[in-house]
Homo-oligomer: A and B are copies of this chain.
Amino acid sequence: MSTLDAAIQDLVMANHILANENIVDAYGHVSIRHPDNPQRFLLSCSRSPEFVQVDDILEFGMDGEPVVPGGKKPYLERFIHAGVYAARPDVHAVIHSHAADVLPFTISTRPLQPVLNTASGIGENVPVWDIRDRFGDTNILVESIAQADDLARTLAGNSVTLMRGHGFTAVGRTLIEVVKSAIYLPLNARVMLAALSLGGEIKPLSAGEIAIRLKTPIDSPAYTRAWEYWTNRVQQRAGAMTCACCAGKSDADRQEGK
């Protein structure tokens, strides 16, 4: 398999993982920078991540437009990815999501802090981008490069930016890294919120702890075991959905009841 084909397969699996872990639903998307051309990125056409297949993956330029025009309809908010890849050469994967547990922090003046070792990937500072600050009243979607560039400015060198009343955008050096951040960010948010309700002081991760954890090699079990686990869960759920005795059948046959 070529590097590109392998990357696309991983991207499809990341779509299914994020859906299965309730990080995305009908909406939300995940992209990777093209492995052979840093001026391009790969992202599904406009489909719910749970249903994305290999031939849904399209190639985009830094203008946020499909390289091959006239194909499947792209996501309205594909510009988020374009803006981030342009501003951050170190970033190779981007996730946009509105996971429910993160949303309270997008509309509150209380900043989200990293409190869990598993969520150290979100970094020390988690800014909130409010589209209204610069663009006034909109439909709160990121539908232009100008808006995406503004989001990227708020993201700056961080790993995550929250988006007011909307969700978040997370970035990573690798696909696994950003998937892990996107999965543990909502947990971190829920735990911090609950800890605040206990009424005492809370202890976030220190800058030193985050810096040390950032050095974890990408082939460490901290990443590989998680990926294997999420993949297994996707496959198990697919099994539950179709019944293992149908596992040898094509999707089409199953849907037709053959």
Task: Report, as a range, how many residues of chain A touch the other chain.
Answer: 35 or more
Which residue on B lies nearest to A100, using beta carbons? B187
Q: Using Cβ atoms and an 8 Å threshold, which residues of chain B touch A107?
A: 115-116, 191-192, 195, 202-204
Tell me whether A236 and B241 are in contact in the complex, defined as CB-CB below 8 angstroms, given that A48-B225, A165-B115 are known contacts: yes
Q: Using Cβ atoms and an 8 Å threshold, which residues of chain B touch A98?
A: 116, 118
8 new A-B contacts at CB < 8 Å, known A26-B230, A117-B165? A104-B197, A104-B198, A107-B202, A108-B198, A110-B198, A117-B141, A165-B204, A239-B242
This chain's copy number in the assembly: 4
Which residue on B lies nearest to A205, using beta carbons? B165
CB distance from A242 to the nearest CB of B (A): 5
Tell me whether A203 and B243 are in contact in the complex, defined as CB-CB below 8 angstroms, given that A139-B212, A225-B48, A232-B48 are known contacts: no
CA distance A232 to B140 in the complex (A): 27
